[in-house]
Amino acid sequence: MEIMTDKKYSPMTNSDDEYVRIMQKLQTKHNDLFEKIVFAQREDKEDIAQSYASEIIAVRTMMALNKDEFFKKLNE
């Protein structure tokens, strides 16, 4: 049995690929922000930690959206 690797037969569309790529970038950004929050708290810089926390909330909100909601929000 031959496996079809041609894109036109692929079950994933370009928007699926783009969605996955964006979600991976958001996860990386989330991890970086989380690390910055931890280091800021260790250095008793609560105002900086809170600033990063507000950014991480926005990232988590975007990550919680399903693909259709995400692209709708992105195109607003």
pLDDT mean by block of 10 residues, the chain; 76 residues: 48 76 94 97 96 96 88 79
Query: What pLDDT shows up at residue 39?
Result: 97
**Exposed/middle/buried for 52, CB within 10 Å: 0-12, 13-18, 19+?**
buried
The whole-angstrom separation of Cα 35 and Cα 54 is: 14
pLDDT score for 67:
86
